[in-house]
């Protein structure tokens, strides 16, 4: 089934512009309610979380109206991280979980992500069915079967307590100074609470949301804010989350950034040594660095690559029974602990490695030497398809021939924004630059 509303991570767009309107949110809520009430029973539950965007109020109310109109009972969590919604959907025995967030996007955007009763994101097929219901006439519930809505005041607290259980029993973070950047987003209270309760000396930044400043100069898309705070306060570690806290960037004590590839390399190596890495493999996307693949191969481990999107990483993990995966962008998926990427729990695993080994963050965050990689984004007009242009195809073929055996080229459309992402890797940085700039120029002409 094809999908038009749903992208790689739910439905996303600019607030008050299709499809992120109150009207569409109402229809999506009603369609999801009808999809999950196919058995006709009453008493179905849905939990709804959100980040700190102003438009979250509008979409939360509209979704609630749509869901209750089809007989779903709604439990409102307020601002909580995306992984908290996955956890609480299972914990509260809900039939559906919804997160209102556009993740790392600017404040004017928003999105709606759906989770099934198992806490995992819905499959492409389920999303396509919901789209079909949106397009049809949605039958409301009988008056006596209209659902109820209730605010859950301790949703964040439940997640905080659970997150602490993922840290090694008996271990504390006494004496470790940590900067945590919450991007003025969904984890602005939960993340500092968890780290403080485990004993860390916590310096929190990006914890003053006002509805408009999520991801604005802070968070994992702007790690320089966390790096500056690490250096200013003499911290041993910086943790930079994104707006909904499902991804993380690690900053070592020198202010240097470690991306998701380095974090996954550390965890894969540790878990393999401990006999915890199921299947002897790490699942990552086509964006992960070639250096990560070589690092794993040198340790007798495999890298399984998927399409871009943490949902596809999770699908491969579930299909083959793996328990560790993620993306270079910092989505780290540990199915022993969470059903989706969890930036805070991933950072806690990094802290556990520091506590166990006594090693510095800089030593742990440089597991392999990355192959030079360059990524550039080209924005294009809605409805355009620059990748179909013959001139663009010819330039890409030429680049692939030039890098054969010594690197690779990856060109793809973003699943969340009108961008063409041009990525290449090569041992020779001069050749790398020429290849990427040549493709970018061709795409810009076609766009």
CATH code, domain with 291: 3.40.120.10
- 248 in a domain, yes or no? no
Residues 173 and 269 in one domain: no
- 2 in a domain, yes or no? no
Question: Three-state DSSP class for 345?
Answer: helix
- 252 in a domain, yes or no? no
Residues 100 and 233 in one domain: no
pLDDT digit string, tens, across residues 352-409 = 999 999 999 999 999 999 999 999 999 998 778 899 999 999 999 999 999 987 889 9
- 314 in a domain, yes or no? yes
- What pLDDT is stored for residue 63 in this prediction? 98
Residues 15 and 148 in one domain: yes
- Alpha carbon distances (Å) from 423 to 112, 386, 399, 411, 420: 28, 16, 11, 6, 10
End residue of a domain, out of 322, 339, 364: 364
pLDDT digit string, tens, across residues 119-175 = 999 988 999 999 999 999 999 999 999 999 999 999 999 999 999 999 999 899 999
Spatial CA neighbour of 195 closest among 182, 184, 208: 182
Residues 16 and 148 in one domain: yes
- What pLDDT is stored for residue 226 in this prediction? 98
Residue range of the domain that includes 400: 373-446
- 247 in a domain, yes or no? no
pLDDT digit string, tens, across residues 236-251 = 999 999 999 999 999 9
pLDDT band at 198 (very low <50, low <70, confident <90, very high): very high
| Sign of the C-alpha dihedral computed for residues 437, 439, 443 and 445 taken in this order | positive
**Catalytic hit among 55, 69, 101, 103:** 103
Place of tokens 């695993």: 349
Q: Which residues contact 244 (CB under 8 A, 6 or more apart)?
A: 51, 81, 82, 99, 101, 103, 185, 186, 187
Q: Is the pLDDT of residue 1 over 60?
A: no
What CATH number corresponds to the domain at position 416?
3.30.310.50
Total domains present in the chain: 4
Residues 25 and 146 in one domain: yes
The residue with greater pLDDT, 96 or 404, is 96
Q: Is the pLDDT of residue 308 over 90?
A: no
Judging by beta carbons within 10 Å of its beta carbon (0-12, 13-18, 19+), is residue 148 exposed, middle or buried? exposed
Q: How many helical (H) and strand (E) elements, i.e. helices and strands, does the chain have? A: 14, 18
- What pLDDT is stored for residue 184 in this prediction? 98
Mean pLDDT, the chain, rounded, equals: 95
Residues 118 and 196 in one domain: no
Active site residue 103: yes
- What pLDDT is stored for residue 378 in this prediction? 94
End residue of a domain, out of 119, 153, 187: 153
- What pLDDT is stored for residue 382 in this prediction? 75
Q: Where are the alpha helices (DSSP H) in 80-154?
A: 82-91, 124-135
- What pLDDT is stored for residue 291 in this prediction? 93
Residues 215 and 341 in one domain: no
pLDDT band at 2 (very low <50, low <70, confident <90, very high): low
- 118 in a domain, yes or no? yes
Binding residues: 103, 242, 244, 246
Residues 107 and 80 in one domain: yes
Q: Where are the alpha helices (DSSP H) in 256-367?
A: 260-273, 290-298, 310-320, 343-357, 361-364
- What pLDDT is stored for residue 49 in this prediction? 98
- What pLDDT is stored for residue 324 in this prediction? 98
Residues 141 and 21 in one domain: yes
pLDDT digit string, tens, across residues 431-442 = 999 999 999 999
Residues 100 and 80 in one domain: yes
- What pLDDT is stored for residue 39 in this prediction? 66
Strand order in the sheet with 373-379: 373-379, 419-426, 407-413
- What pLDDT is stored for residue 374 in this prediction? 94
Q: Which residues contact 70 (CB under 8 A, 6 or more apart)?
A: 29, 30, 33, 34, 37, 138, 139, 140, 141, 147
Residues 94 and 122 in one domain: yes
Global pTM reads: 0.90
pLDDT band at 40 (very low <50, low <70, confident <90, very high): low
* CA pair distance 160, 165, nearest whole angstrom: 9
pLDDT band at 283 (very low <50, low <70, confident <90, very high): very high
Binding residues for Mg(2+): 103, 242, 244, 246
Residues 106 and 195 in one domain: no
- 6 in a domain, yes or no? no
């Amino acid at each position: 089934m094809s999908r038009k509303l749903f992208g790689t991570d739910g439905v996303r767009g600019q607030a008050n512009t299709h499809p992120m309107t109150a009207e569409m949110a109402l229809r999506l809520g009603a369609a999801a309610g009808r999809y999950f009430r196919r058995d006709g029973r009453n008493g179905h539950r849905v939990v709804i979380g959100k980040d700190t965007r102003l438009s979250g109020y509008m979409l939360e109310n509209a979704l609630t109206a749509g869901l209750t109109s089809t007989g779903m009972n709604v439990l409102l969590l307020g601002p909580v991280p995306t992984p908290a919604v996955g956890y609480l959907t299972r914990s509260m025995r809900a039939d559906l979980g919804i997160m209102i967030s556009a993740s790392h996007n600017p404040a004017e955007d928003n999105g709606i992500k759906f989770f099934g009763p198992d806490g995992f994101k819905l499959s492409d097929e389920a999303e396509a069915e919901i789209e079909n219901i949106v397009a049809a006439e949605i039958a409301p519930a009988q008056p006596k079967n209209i659902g109820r809505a209730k605010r859950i005041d301790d949703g964040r607290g439940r997640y905080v307590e659970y997150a602490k259980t993922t840290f090694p029993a008996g271990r504390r973070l006494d004496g470790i100074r940590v900067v945590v950047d919450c991007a003025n987003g969904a984890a602005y209270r939960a993340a500092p609470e968890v780290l403080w309760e485990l004993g860390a000396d916590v310096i929190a930044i990006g914890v003053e949301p006002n509805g408009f400043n999520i991801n604005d100069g802070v968070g994992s898309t702007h790690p320089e804010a966390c790096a500056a705070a690490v250096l200013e306060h003499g911290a041993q570690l910086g943790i930079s989350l994104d707006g909904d806290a499902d991804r993380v960037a690690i900053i070592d004590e020198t202010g240097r950034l470690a991306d998701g590839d380095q974090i996954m390399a550390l965890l894969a190596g540790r878990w393999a040594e401990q006999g915890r890495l199921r299947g002897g493999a790490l699942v990552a996307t086509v964006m992960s660095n070639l250096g990560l693949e070589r690092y794993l191969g040198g340790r007798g481990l495999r890298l399984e690559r998927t399409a871009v999107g943490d949902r596809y990483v999770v699908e491969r993990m579930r299909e083959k029974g793996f328990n560790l995966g993620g993306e270079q962008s910092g989505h780290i998926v540990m199915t022993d602990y969470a059903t989706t990427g969890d930036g805070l729990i991933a950072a806690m695993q990094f802290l556990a490695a520091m506590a166990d080994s006594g090693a510095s963050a800089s030593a742990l965050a440089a597991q392999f030497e990355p192959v030079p990689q360059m990524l550039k984004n080209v924005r294009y007009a809605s409805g355009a398809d620059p990748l179909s242009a013959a001139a663009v195809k010819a330039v890409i073929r030429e680049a692939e021939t030039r890098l054969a055996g010594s690197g690779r080229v990856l060109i793809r459309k973003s699943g969340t924004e009108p961008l063409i992402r041009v990525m290449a890797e090569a041992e020779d940085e001069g050749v790398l630059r020429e290849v990427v700039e040549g493709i970018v120029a061709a795409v810009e002409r076609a766009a």
